[in-house]
């Protein structure tokens, strides 16, 4: 199968969700969105002034992209990670939610989903499926629902059910399991020395259960090394590790990267390598959250991979269609 220039441009955009600089659709942002034509936008605190502005801003973004599959997403977990906190609601962290029981967790998910939907969001990068097994973990901690696989599975799936009941799509994270690390992947490259047997008995159980439940529309990868599975590449770029998510854990939804601007990836692999290795590994979608220049660079790199035909066209189209199938109903229902 041959992809012509228009095919390549379309697919490169649909493989991307990007961050944008500020709280308005200014000329520079319009040009960025027109050039990349991304499948989605992720919003942060820098994009939010107040409730009225946010609602109008999301409506304007959707109007600008009317007619195309397009998703507005956010990282809203509660506790440490909640981008909408300045607007009023201060949501508890996952650990504190879980202490109130499964029905409370489901209600928290539903209420959070209702809040997100009221502003026009479509997708939340939640819930966390990591298990808090390392007390000194600087980035997961109480973002995890529990310290054991069974409770994490129970509460995370309940939270996801609540989000979806409110009309918000879900993304479980961070595969293959970030809970036992001692390094923040925003700042450096974490590593765990787990064998595949350990992962099967513990870290992978919530991901496997989430895949079986059908409640997760996407699963996010972690930028971390698991050298006993792949001594050269982090999970995000590893065909061995991503293939296990498909073949062993049975996940058929969207595999999306964590932010490619995080130092765990950005300090070690170029944009060309991230584009090529990620696609070859089986990534469906990339997040480029911080730097518009890097988002443009990744878009060019993805286009170049397609020009060079180093990844089968059928695989690229499958990733595009998997993304649209899982997420387009939000906007086209």
Please give the average pLDDT of every successive group of 10 residues along the chain, which has 333 residues: 87 97 96 96 96 97 90 96 90 98 98 97 98 94 97 98 96 97 95 96 97 95 98 98 98 97 97 98 97 97 94 94 77 37
- Active-site annotation holder among 130, 180, 217, 258: 258
**Residue 122 bears catalytic tag:** no
Residue 256 burial (C-beta neighbours within 10 Å; 0-12, 13-18, 19+): buried
**Residue 130 bears catalytic tag:** no
Res 1: pLDDT:
76
Cβ distance 286 to 42 under 8 Å?
Answer: no
Res 328: pLDDT:
65
Q: Residue 83 is part of a domain; what is its CATH number?
A: 3.20.20.300
DSSP string for residues in 272-322: HHHHHHHHHHT--EEEE-S-HHHHHHHHHHHHHHHHHT-S-HHHHHHHHHH
- Domain span at residue 149 reads 5-332
Token pair in block for residue 69: 């599959």
Total domain count for the chain?
1
Rg (CA), the chain: 19
- Active-site annotation holder among 186, 230, 261, 304: 186
Token pair in block for residue 66: 């009317």
């Amino acid at each position: 199968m041959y992809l012509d220039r228009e095919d390549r441009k379309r697919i490169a955009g649909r493989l991307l969700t990007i961050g944008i600089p500020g709280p308005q659709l200014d000329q520079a942002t319009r040009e960025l969105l027109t050039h990349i034509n991304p499948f989605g936008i992720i919003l942060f605190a820098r994009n939010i002034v107040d409730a009225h502005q946010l609602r109008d801003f999301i409506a304007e973004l959707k109007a600008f992209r009317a007619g195309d599959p397009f998703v507005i997403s956010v990282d809203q977990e509660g506790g440490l990670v909640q981008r909408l906190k300045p607007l009023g609601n201060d949501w508890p962290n996952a650990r504190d939610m879980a202490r109130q029981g499964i029905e409370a967790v489901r209600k928290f998910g539903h209420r959070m989903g209702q809040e997100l939907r009221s502003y026009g969001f479509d997708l939340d990068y939640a819930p966390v499926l990591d298990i808090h097994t390392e007390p000194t973990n600087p980035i997961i901690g109480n973002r995890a629902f529990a310290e054991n696989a069974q409770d994490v599975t129970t509460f995370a799936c309940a939270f996801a059910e609540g989000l979806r009941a409110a009309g918000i799509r879900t993304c479980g994270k961070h595969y293959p399991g970030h809970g036992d690390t001692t390094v923040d992947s925003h700042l450096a490259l974490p590593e765990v020395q787990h064998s595949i047997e350990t992962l099967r008995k513990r870290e992978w159980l919530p991901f496997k259960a989430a895949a079986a439940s059908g409640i997760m529309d996407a699963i996010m990868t972690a930028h971390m090394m698991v050298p006993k599975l792949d001594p050269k590449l982090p999970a995000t770029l590893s065909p061995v590790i991503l293939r296990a998510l498909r073949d062993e854990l049975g996940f058929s939804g969207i595999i999306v990267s964590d932010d490619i601007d995080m130092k765990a990836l950005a300090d070690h692999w170029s944009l060309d390598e991230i584009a090529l290795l990620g696609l070859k590994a089986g990534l469906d979608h990339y997040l480029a959250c911080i730097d518009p220049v890097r988002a443009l660079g990744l878009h060019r790199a993805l286009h170049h991979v397609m020009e060079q035909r180093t990844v089968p066209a059928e695989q690229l189209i499958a990733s595009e269609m998997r993304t649209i199938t899982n997420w387009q109903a939000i906007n086209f229902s």
